[in-house]
Chain A
Amino acid sequence: GAGVSQSPSNKVTEKGKDVELRCDPISGHTALYWYRQRLGQGLEFLIYFQGNSAPDKSGLPSDRFSAERTGESVSTLTIQRTQQEDSAVYLCASSPVGGRGELFFGEGSRLTVL
């Protein structure tokens, strides 16, 4: 596709359930980011993938959060045993390496934990 694609766009789940969020970056973009945006807050960095390098997971808030990326393509963000404080919009962005460093964001996945 032309842009970054995220799914699902909305997810409502019960506390304690696991959820998986998916991101398809722009074709050819080697860098991929996950950010979290809580209501009324700024964007929080979660994780960064660049090609086959080890990802920077320093922003993941707890060990309930994990993310994977298949080569330079799709990424999934998994949240296990969800808590109410996990409710947020999860945004994925991609960027071409060697370019101006511009990030392109998807529409986000809005997660609501009841």
Chain B
Amino acid sequence: KQEVTQIPAALSVPEGENLVLNCSFTDSAIYNLQWFRQDPGKGLTSLLLIQSSQREQTSGRLNASLDKSSGRSTLYIAASQPGDSATYLCAVRNSGGSNYKLTFGKGTLLTVNP
């Protein structure tokens, strides 16, 4: 059974700092990995999707990397801003079988202080 862990559970940083959020998964047979952002009381917004054949994806100040063999992904946020404050979730889609299901981590609550 796939398990996804996100560390740290919470992170507080001053504005302007670069930061890294971590996601690990137990079964390396994945189809893709998706990073989401969730604001309080809101739904999930997709940030980046990495296919299993890819090593990284970039969007603006965000960069996500994937090391499938070691079961790890990182989300790098450059020059953080107060507006980046949210919960960041990673989700893994397994390959084969019920490959339509995503397994989610519990998220990292990020606070960027002005």
By a beta-carbon cutoff of 8 Å, the part of chain A in contact with chain B is: 4, 6, 31, 33, 35, 40-43, 45, 48, 50, 56, 58, 91, 93, 95, 100-108, 110
Contact = CB atoms under 8 A, between A and B. Distances in A.
Nearest to B4: A42
B105 interface: yes
Contact of B100 (A31, A91, A100, A106): A31
Contacts, number: 58
Interface majority SS on B: helix, strand, loop or mixed?
strand
B34 A103 contact: yes
Interface of B: 4, 31-32, 34, 36, 41-46, 49, 51, 89, 91, 93, 98, 100-107
Contact of A42 (B41, B43, B51, B106): B106
A102 to B, nearest CB: 5
A54 B89 CA distance: 29
A45 B105 contact: no
Given A40-B106, A42-B106, A43-B89, 12 more contacts: A4-B43, A48-B100, A48-B101, A50-B100, A56-B100, A93-B44, A100-B32, A101-B31, A102-B34, A102-B46, A105-B44, A108-B42
